Amino acid sequence: MIFDETGFLEKGQDSIGVARQYCGTIGKVDNCQVGVFAAYVSESGYALIDQRVFIPEQWYI
């Protein structure tokens, strides 16, 4: 199993989970969504198992 996250740069605050947070794709803090992914990998192939949008703490307030 492999778990990884990636950031999706977003302009504005209208999308679910957007917050000022570290965005690895641009290498700095900016407005972005973060996706978390789980994949199965073996010698015979690979498959995406699940994906979720990370919800920052300020979305719960």
Counted residue by residue, the chain has a size of: 61
Q: CA–CA distance from 12 to each of 31, 44, 45, 46, 58 (Å)?
A: 7, 42, 38, 35, 16
pLDDT reported for residue 58: 86
The predicted structure's pLDDT at residue 56:
92
Answer for the pair 54, 22: CB distance below 8 angstroms, yes or no: no
Angle at CA 31, nearest 5°, toward 13 and 2?
A: 115
pLDDT of res. 48: 97
At 9-54, the pLDDT tens digits run 999 888 999 999 999 899 999 999 999 999 999 999 999 999 999 9
Q: Which residue intervals of the chain are DSSP H helices?
A: none
pLDDT at 28: 95
Q: Does the global pTM surpass 0.95?
A: no
